[in-house]
Amino acid sequence: MSAILARGLTRIYRRSAEEIAALFGVDLVIEPGEFVAITGASGAGKTTLLNLIGCLDRPTSGLLKLLGRNVHALRGKDLEIMRRQHVGFVFQDYCLVPTLTVEENVALPLLFSRALHQRNRVRDLLARVGLQDRSDHLPRELSGGEQQRVAIARALVNNPEILLADEPTGNLDSKQGNEIVALLRDMKLTIVLSTHNLDLANRADRQIKLADGRVV
């Protein structure tokens, strides 16, 4: 069973009379445990693809299967469960909740999945991203790279099978970016990362290049 399978995946944005095919007829297969980089210029459709895989958005047409489940057949509640239990998301600008400490941010998905009894995972994950000493800090007290590491811990706390990272290094200098990619490489799960930094992309198992919404 593939972790991610797409056939003819299409997403068309309608804006009044205009139609923008952000993604058009994309086929891809990603196996469990693979570390795949999606590359392509700005506007190529990387974010659109990751949003679809992350169940944040629905395809206009085409087939998308996650962990053998047909996403199209999933209704609101099941999509929520898919997002909550099986997929972790990391954003370019970290998106930590500014009022919560590092530890509370990482624990937040446990609150939403009513799994606070697994809170010992928070400390383990913070140790894995090297921030065990910063758990009481607020996000604004951390550097960009550190915030992104918190975001990765947060994405992993519900123990998902798939981790999606949309330009996770986009706001970081190359040293911090390298650290993030190295950290992700160590995680034993399916990772799909988008980037337009070819050096970083080269460290993935495989690259999928997008241009104008198509795989090239």
Partner 1 sequence: MADVTQKLSQKGKNLVIFQFISVVLKELRRHRTRSALTISGVALSVCVLVSLLGLGIGYRTSLIQSIDRLGYHILVTSKGCPYEAATLLMQGGVIPMYMDEAIHREILRDADVAITTRLFLGSLSVHREGFSLVTGIENSFLEMKPWLTFQRGEWFGEGAADEVILGYSVAAYYRKNIGDDFPLKGLGQTFRVRGIFDRSGTQDDGTIFVPLGVAQRLFDKQEKLTGIGVKLKDLSRIDEFSARVFEIPSVQVITMAQVQRTLLDLLGTARFFIGTVAIVAVAIAVLGVMNTMLIAVFERTREIGVMRAIGASRGDVFALICAEAFTICTAGGIAGGGIAVLGSRMASEAVRAILPFVPAGVLVQIDGLLLIGGIAMAAGMGILAGIIPGWRASRLHPIEWMR
Ligand X SMILES: Nc1ncnc2c1ncn2[C@@H]1O[C@H](COP(=O)(O)OP(=O)(O)O)[C@@H](O)[C@H]1O
C-alpha–C-alpha distance, residues 172 and 136, integer Å: 23
- Please report how close the Cβ of residue 42 comes to ligand X at its closest, in angstroms: 4
C-alpha–C-alpha distance, residues 142 and 151, integer Å: 12
| CA 86 to mean position of chain CA atoms | 11
Q: How many CB atoms lie within 10 A of CB 168?
A: 28
Q: Site for ligand X (CB under 6 A): which residue of 13, 27, 112, 182?
A: 13
- Please report how close the Cβ of residue 89 comes to Mg ion at its closest, in angstroms: 13
Out of ligand X, partner 1, Mg ion, none, what residue 212 binds, judged by CB under 5 to 8 A for its kind, is none
| CA 153 to mean position of chain CA atoms | 12
Question: Which residue, 47 or 147, has its beta carbon nearer to Mg ion?
Answer: 47
Q: Site for ligand X (CB under 6 A): which residue of 46, 134, 149, 154?
A: 46
Question: Which residue, 117 or 175, has its beta carbon nearer to partner 1?
Answer: 117
Q: Could you tell me how many helices (H) and strands (E) the chain has, helices first?
A: 7, 10
**Of residues 97-136, those binding partner 1 (CB under 8 A):** 97-100, 104, 107-118
Interface residues with ligand X (CB under 6 A) are 13, 15, 20, 22, 40, 42-48
